[in-house]
């Protein structure tokens, strides 16, 4: 079981230390005390390796160097050291499925069919029917080699060929390089795409699968039976686990994988000998009601019982910010935070989530996101209605530190890489620090509580039936500790007839000192019983 809390930083948008309008590593270093003060134990940082930035870091040209807009190798080493100095851990994002088409491996591979790296990528004389995850075209013709290469994502991100043992060794060596630098593990980008069918069998056609879903075998009218979640990917997870287990203290692997629970669980290994954690992305598309989360808790306990650990995430750099799903309500956001921190699992918080940072108003036609450029033909009114982000710029706008300085304190540059949101007046760190019952202070209190309370960070969970569909209630227990969590998902006051003897109020969104059985609208409490 993994016990930690994770704060995700998108470095380009966190803090700009040199006034060029782009966040950087020194900017993160300058804000580490803020993250420490909030109580987070682990930081996950999206890629900052050398890259042409066509996909803003997820197109890596050199795994062993740093993109100059973010800093230097010395900055990266200092960042690791400063995080450790504060008693925190750090996960670097590791993109293993593909590289940039500017990576020297691909530059060599594409020259001809006989060079030493000719089969380091997936090449074919004729394409099969495999599609890209973000568009209809997965195969791309390179005339100098007179062959097609495969890209699971965008054309400038060719997929590596892990059936070549040299490729696997090269990527494992990359991981060892950073582990030797002191990183505490990796968030593994799109890990379940890495190994494809050796015979290149066509994926089955399906009318039901129009767009990708949480199951993710679909999209473009096909089920990705032969290009996703192959048995070899499960085996790769175990191999990579052996690599990180070479290092002490324990390092962590957090995998981005998609599929049904019975498929995703295979990445953890039958004996907990695979990845340590996987994202459970179905919860990203939550419905704000008690019944939805009641079912999710039961589902996760069925599929990921102890010693497995669910990973609870409501937002990230690829999806619309969760607060959009709740009408940008700070009161509802507090309830979600309480739920996230009291469910069994690892809470993962995307930068800005702690202040209720909303999606930016960036039209798809002017989006910098390469996916936005792919879908620029989609009318804006349709893009606004979609439950997924086809312009990820909207969830990557700069962090809002205050409402008194230029660009919300993110940068002193005249122009920032993405515009500052217009909601900066009351959604900024400085103001919320001073407000006793702000969303930020709720996160801080929950981090503290979770660290100190074994029932929450290590205990069992049991759903309690209150007889009211709008109340989500569950017990967290560890040895002699027993906590009752009550969450009111309605706007109305609700009276609960609780049979348990209440010893004290451990936490209350509305700062209740005693509990009389009444929950205000969107209220939540933790009771010691």
Residues of the chain with pLDDT under 50: 217
Helices assigned H by DSSP within 375-526: 380-385, 429-434, 439-452, 454-457
Distance CA 390, CA 319 (A): 9
Is-catalytic flag, 239? no
Residue 215 is predicted with a pLDDT of 53
Question: Phi/psi class of residue 216: alpha, beta or left (left: φ > 0; alpha: ψ in -120 to 50)?
Answer: left
Q: Which residues of the chain are in CATH 2.60.40.1180 domains?
A: 460-528
Give the pTM: 0.96
Position 503 scores a pLDDT of: 80
Catalytic member of 33, 245, 246, 504 = 246
Domain spanning 460-528 has what CATH number? 2.60.40.1180
Q: Would you state the pLDDT for residue 108?
A: 98
Residues 6+ apart with CB under 8 A from 387: 285, 320
pLDDT at 209: 63
Angstrom distance (rounded) from CA 158 to CA 149: 7
Q: What is the CA radius of gyration of the chain?
A: 23
Q: Is the dihedral of CA 238, 239, 242, 243 positive or negative?
A: negative
For 148-172, the pLDDT digits (tens) are: 999 999 999 999 999 999 999 999 9
Distance CA 340, CA 363 (A): 31
Burial class from Cβ neighbours inside 10 Å (0-12, 13-18, 19+) for residue 488 reads: buried
Domain with CATH 3.20.20.80 in the chain: 6-97+165-446
Residue 405: what pLDDT?
Answer: 97
Contact 300, 280 (CB under 8 A): yes
350: which 2 tokens? 């995307």
Looking at 290-389, list the stretches that DSSP marks H as alpha helix, in order from N- to C-terminal side: 290-303, 330-342, 370-374, 380-385
Q: For residue 216, which of 185, 250, 184, 260 has the smallest C-alpha distance?
A: 260
**Is-catalytic flag, 189?**
yes
Predicted local confidence at residue 219, as pLDDT: 66
Which residue do the tokens 């309500």 mark?
329
Token pair, residue 374, equals: 């792919």
For residue 317, CA distances in Å to 224, 268, 498 come to: 24, 24, 41
The whole-number pLDDT of residue 205 equals: 86
Catalytic site residue from 41, 189, 301, 523: 189
Q: Which two tokens stand for residue 2?
A: 């993994």
Q: What is d(CA 157, CA 60) in angstroms, rounded to the nearest whole number?
A: 9
Name residue, tokens 């309690």: 464
Q: Are 405 and 420 in contact (CB under 8 A)?
A: no
Q: How far apart are CA 85 and CA 418, in angstroms?
A: 32
**Cβ–Cβ < 8 Å for 323, 357:** yes
User: 6-97+165-446 adopts what CATH topology?
Assistant: TIM Barrel (3.20.20)
């Amino acid at each position: 079981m993994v016990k930690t809390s994770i704060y995700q930083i998108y470095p380009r948008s966190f803090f700009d230390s040199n006034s060029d309008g782009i966040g950087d590593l020194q900017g993160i270093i300058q804000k580490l005390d803020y993250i420490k003060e909030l109580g987070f134990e682990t930081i996950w940082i999206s890629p900052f390796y050398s890259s042409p930035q066509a996909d803003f870091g997820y197109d890596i040209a050199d795994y062993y160097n740093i993109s100059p807009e973010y800093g230097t190798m010395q900055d990266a080493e200092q960042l690791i050291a400063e995080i450790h100095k504060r008693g925190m851990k750090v996960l670097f994002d590791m993109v293993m499925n593909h590289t940039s088409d500017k990576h020297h491996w691909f530059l060599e591979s594409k020259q001809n069919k006989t060079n030493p790296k000719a089969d380091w990528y997936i090449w074919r004389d004729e394409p099969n029917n495999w599609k890209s995850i973000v568009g209809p075209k997965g195969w791309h013709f390179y005339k100098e080699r007179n062959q097609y290469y495969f890209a699971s994502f965008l054309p400038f991100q060719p997929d590596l060929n892990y059936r070549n043992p040299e490729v696997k060794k090269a990527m494992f060596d990359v991981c060892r390089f950073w582990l030797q630098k002191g990183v505490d593990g990796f968030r593994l980008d799109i890990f379940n795409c890495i190994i494809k069918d050796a015979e290149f069998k066509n994926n089955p056609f399906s009318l039901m699968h129009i767009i990708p879903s949480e199951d993710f075998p679909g999209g473009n009218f096909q089920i990705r039976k032969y290009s996703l979640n192959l048995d070899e990917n499960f085996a790769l997870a175990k191999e990579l686990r052996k690599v990180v287990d070479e290092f002490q203290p324990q390092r962590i692997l957090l995998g981005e994988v998609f599929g049904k629970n019975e498929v995703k669980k295979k990445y953890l290994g039958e004996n907990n000998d695979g990845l340590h954690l996987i994202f459970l992305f179905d919860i990203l598309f939550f419905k704000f009601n008690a019944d939805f989360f009641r079912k999710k808790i039961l589902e996760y306990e069925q599929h990921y019982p102890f010693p497995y650990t669910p990973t609870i995430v409501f937002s990230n750099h690829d999806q619309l910010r969760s607060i959009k799903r709740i009408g940008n309500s700070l009161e509802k956001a507090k309830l979600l935070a309480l739920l996230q921190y009291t469910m069994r699992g690892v809470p993962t918080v995307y930068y800005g989530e702690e202040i209720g940072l909303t999606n930016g108003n960036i039209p798809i036609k002017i989006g910098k996101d390469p996916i936005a450029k792919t879908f620029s033909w989609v009318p804006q009114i349709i893009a606004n209605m979609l439950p997924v982000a086809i312009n990820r710029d909207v969830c990557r706008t700069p962090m809002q530190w205050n409402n008194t300085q230029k660009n919300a304190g993110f940068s002193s540059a005249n122009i920032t890489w993405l515009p500052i949101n217009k909601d900066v007046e009351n959604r900024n760190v400085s103001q919320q620090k001073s407000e006793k019952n702000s969303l930020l202070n709720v996160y801080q209190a929950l981090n503290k509580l979770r660290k100190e309370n074994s029932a929450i960070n290590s205990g069992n969970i049991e759903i309690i039936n209150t007889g009211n569909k709008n109340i989500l209630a569950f017990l967290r227990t560890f040895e002699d500790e027993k906590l009752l969590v009550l969450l009111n998902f309605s706007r109305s006051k609700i009276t609960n007839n609780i049979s348990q003897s209440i010893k004290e109020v451990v936490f209350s969104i509305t700062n209740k000192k005693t509990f009389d059985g009444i929950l205000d609208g969107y209220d939540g409490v933790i009771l010691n019983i």
